[in-house]
Amino acid sequence: STDSERLWQSLMELAKLGATPKGGVNRQALTDLDRQARDLFIAWCRAEGCSIRVDSIGNIFARRMGATPSTPVVMTGSHLDTQPTGGKYDGCYGVMAGLEVIRTLNQHDIQTQSAVEVVAWTNEEGCRFPPCMMGSGVFTGQLSEHEMLHQTDAEGISVSSALDAIGYRGSDELERNNIKAYFECHIEQGPILEDQATTIGVVVGALGQKWFDLTLTGRESHAGPTPMALRKDAMLGAAEVTQAINAIALRYQPHGRGTVGAMQLHPGSRNVIPGEVKMTIDLRHFDADILARMSSELRQAIEDSSQRHGLTAELTPAADFAPEHFADSCVNAVRASAEHLGISHLDIVSGAGHDAIFMGRIAPAGMIFVPCENGISHNESENATAEDLHAGCNVLLYSILEQAGL
Amino acid sequence: STDSERLWQSLMELAKLGATPKGGVNRQALTDLDRQARDLFIAWCRAEGCSIRVDSIGNIFARRMGATPSTPVVMTGSHLDTQPTGGKYDGCYGVMAGLEVIRTLNQHDIQTQSAVEVVAWTNEEGCRFPPCMMGSGVFTGQLSEHEMLHQTDAEGISVSSALDAIGYRGSDELERNNIKAYFECHIEQGPILEDQATTIGVVVGALGQKWFDLTLTGRESHAGPTPMALRKDAMLGAAEVTQAINAIALRYQPHGRGTVGAMQLHPGSRNVIPGEVKMTIDLRHFDADILARMSSELRQAIEDSSQRHGLTAELTPAADFAPEHFADSCVNAVRASAEHLGISHLDIVSGAGHDAIFMGRIAPAGMIFVPCENGISHNESENATAEDLHAGCNVLLYSILEQAGL
Ligand SMILES: NC(=O)NCCC(=O)O
Ligand SMILES: NC(=O)NCCC(=O)O
């Protein structure tokens, strides 16, 4: 069994770097605070005898040698960067759980066949430098290294110069073709485990995502003298499309999701009929065909609404991720480990994007979810219990052992 | 008949003060540009032999003596201030039409029984210093002079010191109890006259207005991992309430209006379910009872929606104006004048607030609307034809003559 206290202490130590008054963490990617977290992580790994490599996008790989050097590596990890108003667990838990597994293996002198490698991916959050999951995206060849190095933050600083500034632009060449399994522990970031009073989510895959930007254009006019019949009110279209998105998602349960998270009305004055509304749309589903159907239903709803209200519509894709079905080998390892340890578990689909999803494109991958309070993350009030974090770490240990071999 | 060319030239002269590159005017209340417009207006009135008085809120009264000093005065006017991206006609037309009537009376040596007085009301727009219709509100006792003098703009400058700065804090005491009639020419600011190919709107009154601020609070959570069934999406409530407002207004045609002009989503991120939505609501109707019913239907719709989506709602009144029914004497004078002149006309209800509405609370009042292109105002592209403006001015001349007596 892993050491609950040691895991907790490491998480709390890490959370000091960028700690906010409200109990959260602000440690955005490639800032000096991120450097401090990376330095600390490397120091802890070196203390466990791990060899450290850093690749060109700043991903850190800490390897504990296996008995048979030629055997494919078993990897685990997550990310050390946070949202501006982030919490202590999102990302850090996955990295610290990996470190705790290595500490446990060392403590009990356990020799595995495969090497075990803990990775801290660069810039998973994407809040300073879009897009999210940048490090794992580059590592797995899903994102272009060249393009990613040239991405800039709001102040015009590039990823490339930010990596240089904190001394984390590495030059180690990593093998991508010799990976036995990748596991990632993560807080659920949703309410399902808590709702079902279950400790472990055996993540079988992740929802595909289609993001869009929609602009509806009507006619700006005075709210008083313009009769209802002579209006082209863009907000009425936006309201209908918002409800249509909800209806579409509800039609494809349990995996359908549809969200309007941001909306701007122009001119945005209380006695002017909005002549233009810009809104974001986030559709998700576990089945690629259904996700495609959801987006064509969205297009139809936009067309109908536009026609009804005399509007023109412009729909632009903003992101497109295929659903991910994790490899049976990894999913079964996680489920069997929870079973073996007598920890309550249920199969779950990740609603959010994670580094494990990119890893799943090039290797068998799996994830272990633990509950977070009220399903809240990306928030300073993000919370999880030491018991649940420990349970997830134990499931990780057994999953890694099963794959790495003794 | 009034002089179309002279009216047009005066309007164009005035429009130079604060002219914008896009052909509009930015001449906000109590700025130096407003002072220049006031000075010009006074110079023109003095040239016509008018006596000038300025009251404590800066309203300017230019009087042409009548034959019988004791006879109640016939007033006309509007405002010289504009929106930041305003047009050439909103307000200015009413003041210049009044001046053109006086010029015409002088030119033809017409002696009226009553004095004829042209007024330029201070700060009708309310965009620099809220609220709108400040000058007429103070003059008619609908707004507190003391409070209005202490209203401040975005830079903290008070109305009182802005009046001093431009030299327009007057000390003339005006009579409010001896007014025979008040007429105001104005562009319609709506599409009805244009839609009906009619030149004159005989304004029989104005819609009552009830403005509200609504805050809907749900639960902010991640758009991916939060299943539809476990959401409290404030935006779904906002979409339903928006549609309910539209339905309520449609139920009470032709005079019902319902508009959501501004909305803010919090946190406003594309993959976060909005935990809070703030929106504005503008309800209007010509019948006070129906307007009250509309607002109780609004409350019911908000309650239903909140319950359906697990939200809490806070509805705060932001403005409340009773409908105004103009005096028959004035409405009939306008209609008869259009009829007499053979100009096409229809009875119309003003959807917007105007100085004439406050004047209607203390004296017989009426308004003359002329079409504006596409019903657009509060916009640099605001437009009206010289012919229509001239027709409205002639209707004003005859209406004034009918009330002032020869
Ligand atoms: N884990 C996570 O918050 N990913 C962000 C991208 C998403 O919305 O799924
Ligand atoms: N005339 C005018 O634009 N008034 C502003 C107040 C309103 O919305 O009616």
Residue A193 φ then ψ, to 5°: -60, -45
CB neighbour list of residue A319: distance below 8 Å, 6 or more residues apart: A131, A209, A210, A211
pLDDT score for A28: 96
- Ligand 2 pocket (Cβ < 6 Å) reads A 224, 271; B 132, 189, 352-354
For B261, the closest of A209, A273, A378 (CB atoms) is A273
pLDDT score for A52: 98
CB count in 10 Å sphere of residue B300: 12
Which H helix or E strand runs over B62?
Answer: strand B60-64
Q: Atom 6 of ligand 2 has which residue's CA nearest to it?
A: B353
For residue B317, say if its preceding peptide bond is cis, omega within 30 degrees of 0.
no
Residues in chain A within 8 Å Cβ distance of B269: 261-262
User: Which chain A residue shows the shortest CA-CA distance from B239?
Assistant: A239
Backbone dihedral region of B126: left (phi > 0), alpha (psi from -120 to 50 degrees) or beta?
A: left
pLDDT score for B379: 87
The pLDDT tens digits of the residues spanning A355-367 come to: 999 999 999 999 9
Report the C-alpha gap between A136 and A119 in whole angstroms: 10
Residues in chain A within 8 Å Cβ distance of B239: 238-240, 242-243, 260
Question: Does the annotation place A79 within a ligand binding site?
Answer: yes
pLDDT score for B33: 98
Q: How far is CA B30 from the centre of its chain?
A: 17
State the pTM of this model.
0.90
pLDDT score for A293: 98
CB contact under 8 A, A246 and B256: no
Taking the centre of ligand 2 as the mean of its atom positions, its distance from the CA of residue B348, in whole angstroms, is 16
pLDDT score for B269: 87
Name the stretches of chain B with pLDDT < 70.
Answer: none
For A263, the closest of B195, B263, B318 (CB atoms) is B263
pLDDT score for B25: 96
pLDDT score for A175: 86
Structure tokens at A108: 């009990």
pLDDT score for A139: 98
User: Which chain B residue shows the shortest CA-CA distance from A127?
Assistant: B269
Task: Answer whether residue A69 shows pLDDT above 90.
Answer: no
pLDDT score for B69: 86
Secondary structure of B245-271 as H, E, C letters: HHHHHHHCCCCCEEECCCEEEECCCCC
Q: Atom 5 of ligand 1 has which residue's CA nearest to it?
A: A353
CB contact under 8 A, B190 and A228: no
Owner of token pair 């559709």: A283
Provide the mean pLDDT of chain B. Answer: 96
Task: Answer whether residue A143 shows pLDDT above 90.
Answer: yes
Q: Which of A85, A193, A263 to mutate to test the interface with B (most CBs of B within 10 A)?
A: A263
Question: Does the annotation place B108 within a ligand binding site?
Answer: no
Rounded to an integer, the average pLDDT of A350-354 is: 96
The pLDDT tens digits of the residues spanning A300-315 come to: 999 999 999 999 999 9
Provide the mean pLDDT of chain A. Answer: 96
Please, is B317 exposed, middle or buried when counting C-beta atoms within 10 Å of its C-beta (0-12, 13-18, 19+)? exposed
The pLDDT tens digits of the residues spanning A7-63 come to: 999 999 999 999 999 999 999 999 999 999 999 999 999 999 999 999 999 999 999
Of A354, A357, A376, best ligand 1 pocket probe by most atoms within 8 Å of the beta carbon:
A354
pLDDT score for A130: 87
pLDDT band at A379 (very low <50, low <70, confident <90, very high): confident
User: Which chain A residue shows the shortest CA-CA distance from B285?
Assistant: A224
Taking CB atoms and an 8 Å cut-off, how many pairs form between chains A and B? 217
pLDDT score for B371: 98
Angle between helices B288-309 and B234-251 (to 10 degrees): 150
Owner of token pair 């003059």: B139
Ligand 1 pocket residue status of A367, Cβ below 6 Å: no
pLDDT score for A378: 87
Of A82, A121, A132, best ligand 1 pocket probe by most atoms within 8 Å of the beta carbon:
A132
Report the C-alpha gap between B256 and A190 in whole angstroms: 43
Task: Answer whether residue A210 shows pLDDT above 90.
Answer: yes
CB contact under 8 A, A225 and B259: no
Q: Which of A221, A240, A308, A370 to mutate to test the interface with B (most CBs of B within 10 A)?
A: A221
